Amino acid sequence: MADLRFAGIGMTSARTRDRLVQRLREQGISNLAVLDRIRNVPRHIFVDEALGSRAYEDTALPIGFGQTISQPYIVARMSEALLEGGPLGNVLEVGTGCGYQTAVLAPLVERLFTIERIAGLLDRAKERLKELDIRNVKFHHGDGTQGWKSQAPFEGILVAAAPLAVPQALLRQLAPGGRLIVPVGEDGKQELMRFTRREQGVTRESLGHVAFVPLLGGKG
């Protein structure tokens, strides 16, 4: 029964997912491993059943608690940007949300540590990743702006919400050569940025304009 649920039918079928992957290719996503994860992760189980028929549209959808599941293009773009430059060991995800980005990224890295400030969302994400038998993820209910110091340093950090300025704690927790992918800026003026820790300091590059919910501190 679980296999049938994951496989989907109609608007959640393999054919629908293939069309989504083709659209992502046309938008410039070229990492084959990322595209394979987008094709095979059942996005419809991460949204309410009433929204299941829209799960493979390239759009953000509500997941409760005032949060959204990111559009597949953004999930693919951030994952691809993080993975450019070689394999990653310890990776931190800030903003677990419903767990969709977590499910896409986890098999592509050695160990994924994920933080979510809203307990209800974190519990739901844990259930979904357990259903998918994804075992290399550690979860934490906490303030993502502070990172996860006890598990640092990280070769990669991916932030799924937008701070007005990059939290210094996250930059400090980057390993040498480590990459931080984060949307930065106020609503309507956000840029997706990649920061890389090098011997001479931290370099930055813009990956384009985006729209994310704000990154909040504390726990919800």
Question: Is residue 30 annotated as a catalytic residue, yes or no?
Answer: no
* Nearest partner of 174 among 153, 143, 202, judged by Cα: 153
Distances (CA, A) of 175 to 148, 163, 189: 13, 21, 29
Q: Report the predicted TM-score, pTM, of the whole model to 2 decimal places.
A: 0.94
Q: One digit per residue, pLDDT tens: the chain, 220 residues?
A: 456 567 666 677 889 999 999 999 999 999 999 999 999 999 999 999 899 999 999 999 999 998 999 999 999 999 999 999 889 999 999 999 999 999 999 999 999 999 999 999 999 999 999 999 999 999 999 999 999 999 999 999 999 999 999 999 999 999 999 999 999 999 889 999 999 999 989 999 999 999 999 999 998 7
CB-facing half-sphere around the CA of 34: CA atoms within 13 A? 22
Task: Name residue 194's beta-bridge partners.
Answer: 181, 205
Choice among 13, 30, 53, 70 that is catalytic: 70
CB-facing half-sphere around the CA of 67: CA atoms within 13 A? 27
* Nearest partner of 89 among 68, 66, 113, judged by Cα: 113
Going along the chain from its start, the domains and CATH numbers come out as 60-210 (3.40.50.150)
86 Cβ neighbours under 8 A, 6+ residues apart: none
